[in-house]
Structure 1
Amino acid sequence: MSKNNPYPAQPQTVYQADPTFIQSMQAMKANVIEQSKQCMHRPVRVQMVEGQVLEGTVVHLDSDYIYLKVEMNPETMRQPYNPYYNPYNSSVILPLVLYNLLAITLLL
């Protein structure tokens, strides 16, 4: 190994999740998926861990994401760069990571 190489010869583990934590996260994910199935094709309000709140309709669900169809408001659509902008349709489908969900509320 060269003296100028900043990397160790053997990989060094920087972080490893505790097995109890992993089991807890897997159980939480299974619970979110099960509860989200009841929300399919229904209007919901979703609160994310970082604080964002979105309202839309659940259109799909898989093992990692819940797909939420949201209507774009005129202010969002006028931003200089918006990758979701479609002049023919004011709605987009956002994939939301299940681990980032804090709350899902059915809107009647």
Structure 2
Amino acid sequence: MSSPNQSVQQELKPIYQCDAKVHHTLRSVHDHLHQLCANHVNRLVKIETMDGDVFEGHIVHCDKSILYICLSNEGVHRGFFPGPGVPPQTYNNVILPLVLFNLLAISLL
């Protein structure tokens, strides 16, 4: 007789399974981006995301799959809105977390 956990496990079938070659490629890209960002901490960068948002700021930290940038006033107005009624001059020193896989381009300024 099977336990309830075994029957639940048999019923769960993934609707998506990453191909081994794709997984290897994604892991390589992730590792490369992580190392690149970690090597440029405290550098001023311009970042474009897959969605077309553009941010300017200093790389603060890169941890696992997240890049943290401290936004500068110059790049904030293009894609980041902290809330209604907050004037643009107060955006400075905002730390924005960005997912590495959502980054399209990183340029040093």
TM-score, length-normalised on structure 2? 0.72
1:20-68 superposed Cα distances (whole Å, 9 cap, x missing partner): 1011000000000111123210100011111111111101111111101
Partner of 1:101: 103
Partner of 2:63: 62
Q: Point out the structure with the larger helix share.
A: 2
Matched, 1:21 2:5: no
Give secondary structure in 1 for the equivalent of 2:11.
coil
Partner of 1:43: 44
Instruction: Give the Cα separation in 2 of the matches to 1:38 and 1:46.
Output: 16
Q: Which runs of 4+ in 1 moved over 3 A?
A: none
Structure 1 unpaired stretches of 5+: 1-8
Letter in 2 for 1:43: L
Percent identical among aligned pairs is 31
Instruction: Give the Cα separation in 2 of the matches to 1:70 and 1:98.
Output: 17
Instruction: Give the Cα separation in 2 of the matches to 1:102 and 1:13.
Output: 29
TM-score, length-normalised on structure 1? 0.73
State the shift of 1:103 in Å. Answer: 1.1
Partner of 2:4: none
Q: How many residues align?
A: 94
